Structure 1
Amino acid sequence: MKTFKRLLQFAQPIGGFLTPYILLSILGSIFSVANFAMIMPVLDTIFNSLGDSAKPEKLMVLGDFEWYDLTNWKAYGYQFLNQMIAEGGDDAKMKVLYYVCGTTVIFSLLSNLLRYATARLREWMRARTVARIRSSIFDKVVLMDNAFFSSARKGDLMSRATNDVQAVEGAIMHGITTFFKEPIQLIIFFYALFNISTDLTLFAFILIPVSGGAISFIAKKLKRHSKKTQEMAANLLSILDEMIGGMRVVKAFNSESYMKEKYEVENKRYVRSFQKEASRRELASPYSEVMGGVFISILIIKGGSLVLTDASLTGSEFIAYISLFTQVLNPAKAIAGAIGNIQRGLAAGDRILEMLDVEIEIKDKENAKTLEVFDDKVSLENVSFAYEDKKVLKNINLDIPKGKTVALVGPSGGGKSTLSDLIPRFYDPTEGKITIDGEDVKDFTLHSLREKMGIVTQESILFNDTIFNNIAFGTSNASREEVIEAAKIANAHDFIMAMEDGYDTNIGDRGMKLSGGQRQRLSIARAIFKKPQILILDEATSALDTESEKLVQKALEYLMQNCTSLVIAHRLSTIQHADEIVVIKDGEIVEKGTHDHLLLQKGVYHKLQSMQKM
């Protein structure tokens, strides 16, 4: 129930929905009961039970009895029809029959119009609520720390945002509306049944717990299997995502059969789990159907005895009772089906809420201020960082003065990229602090901190959108002139104009319609467009061929002229003119200085240079 209540919060404000929904459900149920109640005067008219009594001296007046007293409503109706027969002449009973059947049609029309209105209201509420769940998931994912994505499987996240939300949409929200509407129908139907025959209705209540206990047992089993099935569906998505992302590697290593076998094993596990879940889910409806048939048969025997023995029930009342009781089975079966679906939805809801409950560690502190200007330097003071108990950086002390270029070099895995990720607060140091102009970066809002920075990485991260929107990413009011200027500086304008739609060309998923050099130049154009004060380049040219590297390097040099730059380089030739080169090995700074100074020391940097010249 805790999961159910939390999911219900997404329906807020629910009062504006429930009031008209409950009102329409009540009116629809009343007209539905009235429709079946008309069976009694129809039968009594046909079989001459109606009109045998003398014309009443005075009709009952509506105000003489309570509106909820169905016995008096029946008496009033029969008196009215008896009067019609007494005053109607030879064909009076046919006129009454027409009248009763016409009234039945009107009641049926009103009942179904109200049912349609409740369905429209339900679907409106359902769509709005599920949209809020989707938005909450997206908003949460956008704010999550980089550390979360380092350990989470993308396929699992996609499954929670799609499959699990669909399960909630089809189960929880349908269940919520079912548990508001169907109980109302049951209450009104049983109230009418009590008014027709108290003895027969009390007898029916004895049978209900037998069915309810079995359905509850099925529902508990279903939730457990549903969660397992949804986790396996997430695994399938993860394998598919990995294969698509690494398709070139799969083909290069002739691993198609391996991937197919891996997927097939997981797919068979999913099928087995799904079949177990389905067998329990589909059991609820046939079980309720069988129990409904058993109920009706037992009630016919019991009701028939009341008609035949002590005459406490008339024939028309008995038939109306059975007809109305068959309608009781519909909301009862809907509730039984909803219980099964809700258990499946609760399992999906648990997975959604589990993701929404992930603690966000990198966030604005209370009273965080805006970083207005950057005047002096970025400093790392005794900074250490550990990831999963493994120390990646150890006691780093480093100053990056404004307007200067500092390069980080060293063996792979030494912690260079991790260090650069600490400055825009993709991660926070486990020890020490990072300051800008002497103030801890944690004192600034994340937005204002990152607004001052531009980042170009080895992997060009582009989006399935136009070239224009990729360069102006994150800006809604960018001018075409500004975008074109950034592209020209990045040496990208010529190849863009050579494309069929120019800046309006869609570059495909991850920019796959472009070459590696073209993608990287678009990434640089995006950074130039932002006009950053602090620039972070993480091996921005290491994956390029010589010709592309020259174009990209020229664009980077222009970009770095007016920036404070932190450059991570694999090719040492690209950072020889840096104001300071910092050598990092095993998470520690082992050397610092200019290119010439470090070569004279004949240490790690000299060794790296020698290896690249070989």
Structure 2
Amino acid sequence: MKEALSNIKKFLSPIGYTKGRWRGFLTAEMYDAFQSVFTVQVGVFIIAAIETKNIENIKFWAIILVVVNIFSYFFGWVAEMCRESANGKVDMGLRRKYFEKYIHLDNTKVETIGTGKMQNIIFDGISNRVGLVNDLFVAILVEILAIIYAFTLIATKSPNRTYFLGFTLLFIVATFLIRVGLGILQKTRKQAKEINMDLARRDIKILMSKFEILQNNKLSIEMDKQEDLINKKVKLRQRGNTKKIFWQTPASGIMDAMKIGIYVFVGIGIVTGNYTFAYIMLLLQLLNIVSRYVWNIRKYLKEWYKSIVHIDKLWETFDSISSMKNTKDIKKFSPKHGDIFLKNISFSYEKNKVFENFNLEIQGGTKTAFVGESGGGKTTLIKLLAGYIRPDKGEVIVDGQKLSKIKLTDYYRHIGYLTQDPSVFDGTIHENLIYALDKEPDTKHLEKTIKDAKCEFIREFDNGLETEIGERGVRLSGGQKQRLAIAKIMLKNPNIILLDEPTSALDSFNEEQINIALHNLFKGKTVVVVAHRLQTVKQADRIIFLEQGKIIEEGTHNELVKLGGKYKRMLDLQSGF
């Protein structure tokens, strides 16, 4: 019971975001539903007045009917206004809640899900949650109350309680069949949801891999995979429709039998003079309303079960992934010289062990480079230093402070992290440059940064700093995006700079420009860089060759060349043409 109440509270919690608008929406919708039943009752009173030739009653109830309908227009407008306002508040409240959760989720787990799949989970979950709370839940609740109102009228007007009890029992059976049937389809809908997510993932793959698919003539193969998924979905739905026949047909039959029963029962009563024409009109109209609302509720429940699959996935995802433990409410980071110490670090991606009891000291103010073959642990090491992922065991210590014991959001303010896929977003160049800053930099400082970062290309655009760069900087070249990202770090002016393959995707001309910009960026900073291109790291104070999570060689460029080991071999391979 406690669990059920907890789930109901969890489900209805977004109502709190609406600040009373939901109650206005519910009240207006209740008036609309009750008005349909009351209108039938007033109509019957008018028919009864006609039968008895009571002119005064006809006029009175006609006026009541007009007033009720006028109010229905007003409450209909109120309902729509409150509904849209409530939807907006719930949408924003859920976005704020889940994006805040997402930002603080354990990055190791998030990476295993993937951005595309996470996007579907969040957006589908939020949009369906909004519709479920503000539309379907209100509709179901209001129409159930209207059905109770209709049943109350039927009970008060029925001269034979036995018939009424039988009528009620049949209605309960029909409703139960609908509820059970929709519950049976829940498993099918969950499977269909997984197929839809797989289809969405494959859609994104095609959109993001356009040229690779074209060059390798793989479109037909991709389409075949999609067709297999669609065929699976079709078979799932066909099985669901077959199951639906076994509960929907009996439920519909019961409703039809109830109508036929009323026709026969009341018809005999009219012939024998026991009932009036107004009475049969009342019962039939009320039964029609009840039938319509029951089938509306069936439709709503069907939508409910479709939507709840997305919401369950949202809950399941965010409940199953733990948050980063130190993003708020703990000790702030106090920057000093930029000294870094990795102490007894162990880390694995699920069963794939990357580091075990790994130790390393990096002196503040120096440039340290990590090189080696792919899969040696270089990028993982950078992510550990950035606090992006946490070690399974051991500590990352920066300026004498354990990352596990300090507030990461404060630590992030003092580091710059640049990858081969630079951090730029859909907006203007100016918005990108100042995103990490608390206040607008002065014009002189901004212009110097643009020059130092070799970002003079900005002036070539018609709109200069106000140029829109598009999603992921699509309107910029790779070198331009990388230099813009370097300018962002320069403006931020962090104590520690972490670089992961900053020039791997660039041509030699762009690489030269980037290296000049990086040289300007590195002055007086602690720098840790991962690179495959050894040209990028020749000037490093210390070069470390990593292999399978272990240090194989270390020294300066000249020392490692003289050593004649793996570093020298890699250098020869890159320069021997």
TM-score normalised by the chain length of structure 1: 0.84
Larger Rg, first or second structure (1 or 2): 1
Match of 1:406 in 2: 368
Query: In structure 2, how many angstroms separate the alpha carbons of the residues matched to 1:515 and 1:365?
Result: 34
- 1:309 CA displacement: 4.2
1:239 lines up with 2:202 in the alignment: yes
Q: d(CA) in 1 for partners of 2:131 and 2:324?
A: 35
- Closer/same/farther in 2, CA of residues 567 and 301 from structure 1, 3 Å limit: same
Q: Which runs of 5+ in 1 are unaligned?
A: 52-92
- Are 2:212 and 1:249 aligned? yes
Distance 2:197 2:33 in 1: 42
Q: Secondary structure of the residue that 1:411 maps to in structure 2?
A: coil
Cα gap change, 1:332 to 1:476, in 2 (>3 Å)? farther
SS in 2 for 1:402: coil
- 1:392 maps to what in 2? 354
Match of 1:79 in 2: none
Hey, what does 1:12 align to over in structure 2?
Answer: 16
Q: How does 1:27-106 map to 2 (within 5 A)?
A: 27-28=31-32, 31-47=35-51, 49-50=52-53, 93=55, 96-106=57-67
Partner of 1:491: 454
Q: Distance in 1 between matches of 2:328 and 2:409?
A: 14
C-alpha contact 2:174 2:255 (8 A) present in aligned 1: no
Instruction: Report if the CA contact (8 A) 2:181-2:248 is conserved.
Output: no
Shift of 1:515: 1.9
Which of 375, 386, 389 aligns to 2:337? It is 375
- Which AA in structure 2 matches 1:144? L
Q: Cα distance, 1:476 vs. partner? A: 6.2
Moved more, 8-17 or 519-528: 8-17
| 2:110 is equivalent to residue 149 of structure 1 | yes
The yes-or-no answer on 1:138 pairing with 2:99 is: yes
C-alpha distance in structure 1 between counterparts of 2:208 and 2:229, whole Å? 19
Aligned equivalents of 1:466, 1:406: Cα separation in 2: 33
Amino acid paired to 1:371: F
- The amino acid of 1:226's aligned partner reads R
Q: Is 2:189 aligned against 1:185?
A: no
Whether the aligned pair in 2 keeps the contact of 1:211 and 1:291 (CA below 8 Å) is yes
Per-residue deviation, 1:108: 3.0
- Contact 1:538/1:568 (<8 A) preserved: yes
CA displacement, residues 118-171 of structure 1 (integer Å, 9 cap, x when unaligned): 454345434433443343332232222321233114332232233444444444
Residue in structure 1 matching 2:466, options 504, 514, 533:
504
Give the letter aligned to residue 383 of structure 2: D
- Alpha carbons of 1:439 and 1:322: their partners in 2 closer, same or farther (altered >3 Å)? same
**Which of these residues, 565, 569, 574, is aligned with residue 603 of structure 1?**
565
| 1:114 equivalent in structure 2 | 75
Q: Is the 8 A contact 1:472 1:483 kept in 2?
A: no
Q: Which moved more, 1:414-423 or 1:504-513?
A: 504-513
Does 251-260 or 484-493 show the bigger shift? Answer: 251-260
Structure 2 residue identity aligned to 1:254: N
- Seen in structure 2, the aligned counterparts of structure 1 residues 30 and 455 have a Cα distance that, compared at 3 Å, is closer
Q: Deviations over 1:233-289 (max 9, x none)?
A: 111111121222222322232323222322333233334445655777899988866
Report the CA distance between 1:208 and its aligned residue. Answer: 0.8
1:438 aligns with 2:400: yes
CA distance 1:166–1:198, change in 2 (3 Å): farther
| CA offsets 1:163-215 (integer angstroms, 9 cap, x no match) | 44444444454331023211221222222222222525334213213312321
1:357 counterpart SS class:
helix
Q: Distance in 1 between matches of 2:446 and 2:164?
A: 77
Structure 1's 591 and 133: CA in aligned 2 closer, same or farther, altered over 3 A?
Answer: same
Contact 2:328–2:407 (Cα < 8 Å) also in 1:
no
SS of 1:394's equivalent in the other structure is strand
Q: How far did 1:461 drift? A: 3.5
Name the % identity. Answer: 24
Aligned residues: 569
Q: Is the 8 A contact 1:31 1:110 kept in 2?
A: no
Task: Map 1:530-545 to 2 at 5 A.
Answer: 530-545=492-507
Identify which range, 24-33 or 352-361, moves more after superposition: 24-33
What residue number does 2:541 align with?
Answer: 579
Q: 1:267 to 1:276 in 2, by over 3 A?
A: same
In the TM superposition, what are the counterparts of 1:171-210 in structure 2 within 5 Å? 171=132, 173-199=134-160, 200-210=163-173
Aligned equivalent of 2:529: 567
Q: Paired residue for 1:262? A: 225
Instruction: In structure 2, list runs of 5 or more residues that go unmatched.
Output: none
Matched-pair contact (CA < 8 Å) for 1:383–1:395:
yes
Q: Specify the alignment match of 1:420 in structure 2.
A: 382
* Aligned CA distance change for structure 1 residues 502 and 126 (closer, same or farther; 3 Å): closer
**1:335 alignment counterpart:** 297
Q: Which moved more, 1:389-398 or 1:164-173?
A: 164-173
Asked if the contact 1:285–1:333 (Cα under 8 Å) also holds between the matched residues in 2, the reply is no
Q: How much has 1:570 moved relative to structure 2?
A: 1.8
Q: Is the 8 A contact 2:150 2:290 kept in 1?
A: yes
Alignment of 1:156-175 (within 5 A): 156-171=117-132, 173-175=134-136
Quote the Cα distance in structure 2 between the aligned partners of 1:470 and 1:210.
62
Is the CA contact (8 Å cut-off) linking 2:327 and 2:409 kept in structure 1?
no
Match of 1:63 in 2: none
C-alpha spacing 1:413/1:206, structure 2 compared with 1 (3 Å): closer
Are the structure 2 counterparts of residues 378 and 153 from structure 1 closer, same or farther at C-alpha, using a change threshold of 3 Å?
closer
**C-alpha distance in structure 1 between counterparts of 2:19 and 2:158, whole Å:** 36
The offset of 1:291, in angstroms, is 4.7
2-structure distance, mates of 1:500, 1:287:
70
